[in-house]
Structure 1
Amino acid sequence: MEIELHTPRTDELDAAVAALRSWQSDDAPLQLHPGDLGWFWQLGAEKTAASVRTWTRDGEIAAVGFLDGPDVLRVTTAPDLMHDEALARRMAADLDDPERGVLPAGKVNAEIPTGAALNESLAETGWDTDEAWTPLRRDLSGPVEDSGLRIEVAGPEDAELRAALQRSAFEGSTFSVERWQAMAEGPAYADARCLIGFDEDGVAVAMVTVWSAGPGRPGLVEPMGVHADHRGRGHGKAICVAAAAALQELGSSSAMVATPSSLVSAVATYRAAGFVPLPERFDRHRAA
């Protein structure tokens, strides 16, 4: 069986998004989600295509990788190939060789689903474990409580407010109306919603974007943030509850999120909103 590495064209991105949608399952560990590509789409289709790598086997997509920065690859495989040693060895060779155009020389990281054969293949080539992440999941089979905030779904007319909340919540963010528009035009956003939370005085205090992978599959929370002037009042928990409710309305089976384990307050916020921590996941790291 022939395995080939590709950098897709913009008109081939829909296939990668569709593959990621179909691979999402509550029985699988947290993995690369179509929402991850959807959020990156704010930079446009061409930059998104340049950041994606696909591995095909006999013409079918077997794995999808996403360069979340020049030296960080987030990658997953089709569920039935998660433990395929031949595919894992080929992917490890591609990740470890800068000339193959996946990762550059020097220090790099790879985010891989827990238990995937690629973890062991990279370990055999000298890659060590690195940053710890805490995945969290909220089951959506039961009712979701009221968040306590007034929630509005952001449309084009709310893009400036949504962007301003993003910039306030994340220091150094350059999110803009133009980026929101580019993200909203991407195929992954067809199953997404941007929510804005307002307090009892009508002030916009928090935002979140949620990404469905289709009915009966896990949805993703990415990103979530609270305005810098309104922290410490429970708005983070509230907007996370609103995110769970929105994903439930979209038909998601669960709401998933991952945050660095070092961000203790973020883990606590998600837990307060009913998200249950799963076993920690560790990046793979090549030191040089």
Structure 2
Amino acid sequence: MATVLTTPGVAGLSETVAVLREWQDDGAPWQLHPGDLGWFWRFGAEATAAAIRTWSRDGRTLAVGLLDGPTLLRLTIAPDAMREEALARQLVADVTEPRRGVLPAGKVAVEAPTGTLFHDLLSQHGWDDAEPWTPLRRDLTEPVPDPGVRIEVAGPECAPVWAAVLRASFDGSTFTDERWHAMAAGAPYADARCLVAYDDQDVAVAVVTVWSAGPGRPGLLEPMGVHREHRGRGHGRAITLAAAAALRELGASSAIVYTPSSNVGAVTTYRSAGFRRLPEIRDRYRDQ
């Protein structure tokens, strides 16, 4: 049977999320998480569906990609197909040739699990290494220490507060209350939580969203931000501990997060909250 490249549409979103949940494993290389789709869902279901590509054979999904912007494809592969040559070669052809409609001509990038044949073959086709990212993981077997600040689970009534802190955490952020509601309406958010940390003056100072992939599977932090006017006071560590505790309550086996290696402050914050630094990963990019 041939491998078929499709855009599943809004009707196929829940199935795609379910597939990604099944693929999550603490022993697997870093890969696309259902929470990545959940965070993208802030743009709405139709935009999320339009950004997804799936590769299937005989009714079974073998690879899922998310166009995180027009020039970046974040792709992962079924655990038992990561070294399959026929699939890897088709994936390379589909992302390399603009006429296939996955990525345009010019400078583009692909994120894929390290160790897959697809990732290896990209380098043989002229794709270079991009800047390094640092993944981090915290085991959730044991209870997580108390964060030492008040933590609130943000529901719809708290969306304006959560959105305001996030905007104040990232330069150029345009996150709005409406985008929070769109994100919360998505299928992945059924097993997610938005948290807000408050300081001793009861001021909202940090936020995070955590995404569970189901009991016994790693859960993702995306995004995490500390208000620019309240940094350097341990709030990043506090909200990160709260995030890990929330994922443990949801049954996650571990909490995972990643950040550009150049963001030394973020790496330090996650490590201070008990996250272990894993080997760096790099996207592949083509500049032509």
Shorter-chain TM-score category? Answer: over 0.9
Whole-Å Cα distance in 2 between the matches of residues 150 and 117 of structure 1?
46
Partner of 2:106: 106
Unaligned runs of 5+ in 2: none
Distance (Å, rounded) in 2 between the aligned partners of 1:150 and 1:54: 42
SS of match in other structure, 2:76: strand
Q: CA RMSD in A?
A: 0.7
What are the within-5 Å matches in structure 2 for residues 1-288 of structure 1?
A: 1-288=1-288
Question: How many residues end up aligned between the 2 structures?
Answer: 288
Structure 2 CA distance for aligned equivalents of residues 266 and 250 of structure 1: 24
**1:199 offset after TM fit, Å?**
1.1
> 1:13 offset after TM fit, Å?
0.8
Q: Distance in 1 between matches of 2:219 and 2:233?
A: 26
Cα distance between partner residues in 2 of 1:116 and 1:150: 43
Output one character per residue of 1:20-39: Cα deviation in whole Å (capped at 9) or x when no partner.
00000001012100000000
Give the SS at the match of 1:99.
helix
The separation in 1 between residues aligned to 2:125 and 2:6, in whole angstroms, is: 22
Q: Residue by residue, what CA displacement relative to the aligned partner does 1:108-140 show, whole Å, maximum 9, x if unpaired? A: 010111111111121121111111111100000
Q: What's the TM-score once normalised by structure 1's chain length?
A: 0.99
Deviation at 1:82, TM superposition (A): 1.1
**Cα displacement (A) at 1:245:** 0.2
User: Take 2:149 and 2:104, find their aligned partners in 1: how far apart are those partners?
Assistant: 45
Partners of 1:75 and 1:112 within 8 A in 2: yes
Distance in structure 1 (CA, Å) of the matches to 2:78 and 2:183: 25
Checking the alignment, whether the CA contact within 8 Å between 1:30 and 1:256 is kept in structure 2 is: no
Q: Which amino acid aligns with 1:217?
A: R
Separation in 1, partners of 2:242, 2:269:
13
Aligned-partner Cα distance in 2 for 1:117–1:66: 19
Residue identity matched to 1:5: L
Task: Give the partner amino acid of 2:252.
Answer: S
**Deviation per residue, 1:73-119 (Å, 9 max, x gap):** 10001111111111111001000011111111000010111111111
Local SS of the residue matching 1:169:
coil
The CA deviation at 1:156 is 0.4
Q: Structure 1 residue 178: deviation in Å?
A: 0.6
Structure 1 residue 170, shift from structure 2 partner: 0.8
Amino-acid identity (%): 64
Q: What is the alpha-carbon distance in structure 2 between the residues aligned to residue 131 and residue 58 of structure 1?
A: 37
What TM-score do you get using the length of structure 2 for normalisation? 0.99
**Mapped contact 1:111–1:284 kept (Cα < 8 A):** yes
* Secondary structure at the counterpart of residue 248 of structure 1: helix
Distance in 2 between the 1:26 and 1:57 partners? 26
Give structure 1 stretches of 5+ with no counterpart.
Answer: none
Q: CA deviation at 1:56?
A: 0.3
Shift of 1:278: 0.6
